[in-house]
């Protein structure tokens, strides 16, 4: 299975959907459209993206991590190219937003996340980041219980892929870990000073407006 290092979201020419064009470390292109999936032939979506990036050399070669569902409280890195992803509680858009932001921090491109969780085409990466920035990250609490029985807590810390070194700047951290520089800047400017206590489920009523903006779709994370 190819390990893509870059992905691009391309609208279909009919305007009825979007396709993911990806590039692997060997310079091979792929697309999620039927033409490439079934014929393995270069499609118009690949041609359009290739024309845009043919003069661009990636500053860092990054392999998109593989996601595996696991009984973990939050997204965790098992290996450099493997992420453990918690199962989503039912109808919890705040928890879903947390998982999405965590995956972004760990190097998963938003188009890949959108496809994985069947997110509405109208929502943007910025909306999820804004929700977490203002409401905190919602993660599982007691690790001794199964995900169906565990309560959730609100954390104001960001789920960075690696610990920060003393005096490390966002730019150096991004270069060392591969975490996108804009997300590193955001995390460094809002690092937690103290965690919040347990948040009752009733408190999530405050998330009604963001939840409506982000849509209602939700699926369980899967391998």
Please write the tens of the pLDDT for every residue from 24-39.
777 788 899 998 989 8
Among the listed residues 18, 96, 23, 14, the one whose alpha carbon sits nearest the alpha carbon of residue 54: 23
Q: pTM for the whole thing?
A: 0.59
- At 212 the pLDDT is 37
Q: Which residue has the higher pLDDT, 211 or 178?
A: 178
Indicate if 97 and 194 belong to the same structural domain.
yes
Indicate if 96 and 182 belong to the same structural domain.
yes
Indicate if 136 and 193 belong to the same structural domain.
yes
Indicate if 47 and 92 belong to the same structural domain.
no
Of 9-13, 49-53, 60-64, 153-157, the one with minimum mean pLDDT is 60-64
Strands (E), 71-191: 76-79, 82-86, 137-140, 152-155
Let me know if residue 72 belongs to a domain. Answer: no
Indicate if 28 and 102 belong to the same structural domain.
no
- At 137 the pLDDT is 93
Exposure string (b/e) for 182-208, b if CB count within 10 Å is 16 or more?
Answer: ebbebbbeeeeeeeeeebeeeebeebe
- Domain of residue 32, residue span: 4-53
Indicate if 153 and 92 belong to the same structural domain.
yes
Let me know if residue 48 belongs to a domain. Answer: yes
Inform me whether the pLDDT recorded for 166 exceeds 90.
Answer: no
Instruction: Kindly report the number of other CB atoms within 10 A of residue 57's CB atom.
Output: 7
- At 174 the pLDDT is 85
Let me know if residue 74 belongs to a domain. Answer: no
Indicate if 191 and 120 belong to the same structural domain.
yes
Number of domains in the chain: 2
Q: Mean of the pLDDT values across residues 128-157?
A: 83
Indicate if 97 and 175 belong to the same structural domain.
yes
Indicate if 100 and 42 belong to the same structural domain.
no
Inform me whether the pLDDT recorded for 223 exceeds 80.
Answer: no
Let me know if residue 219 belongs to a domain. Answer: no
Let me know if residue 155 belongs to a domain. Answer: yes
Let me know if residue 166 belongs to a domain. Answer: yes
Indicate if 46 and 92 belong to the same structural domain.
no
Let me know if residue 82 belongs to a domain. Answer: no
Question: CA angle at residue 38 from 12 to 220, to 5 degrees?
Answer: 70
Tell me, what DSSP letter sits at residue 217? -
Let me know if residue 97 belongs to a domain. Answer: yes
73: phi then psi, degrees, rounded to nearest 5:
-75, -25
Indicate if 92 and 40 belong to the same structural domain.
no
Indicate if 30 and 126 belong to the same structural domain.
no
């Amino acid at each position: 299975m190819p390990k893509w290092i870059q992905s691009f979201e391309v609208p279909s020419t009919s305007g009825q959907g979007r396709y993911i064009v990806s590039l692997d470390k060997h310079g091979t292109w792929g697309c999620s459209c039927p033409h490439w999936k079934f014929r393995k032939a270069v499609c118009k979506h690949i041609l359009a993206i290739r024309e845009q990036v043919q003069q661009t050399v990636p500053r860092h070669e990054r392999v998109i991590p593989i996601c595996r569902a696991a009984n973990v409280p939050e997204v965790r890195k098992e290996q450099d190219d493997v992420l453990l992803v918690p199962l989503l509680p039912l109808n919890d858009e705040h928890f879903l937003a947390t998982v999405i932001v965590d995956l972004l921090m760990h190097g998963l491109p938003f188009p890949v996340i959108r496809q994985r969780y069947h997110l509405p085409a109208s929502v943007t990466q910025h909306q999820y980041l804004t929700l977490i920035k203002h409401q905190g990250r919602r993660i599982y609490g007691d690790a001794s219980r199964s995900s169906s029985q565990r309560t959730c807590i609100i954390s104001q810390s960001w789920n960075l892929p690696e610990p920060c070194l003393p005096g490390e700047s966002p730019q150096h951290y991004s270069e060392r870990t591969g975490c996108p520089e804009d997300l590193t800047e955001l995390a460094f400017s809002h690092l937690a000073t103290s965690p919040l206590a347990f948040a009752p489920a009733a408190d999530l009523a405050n998330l009604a407006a963001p939840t409506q903006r982000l849509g209602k779709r939700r699926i369980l994370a899967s391998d």
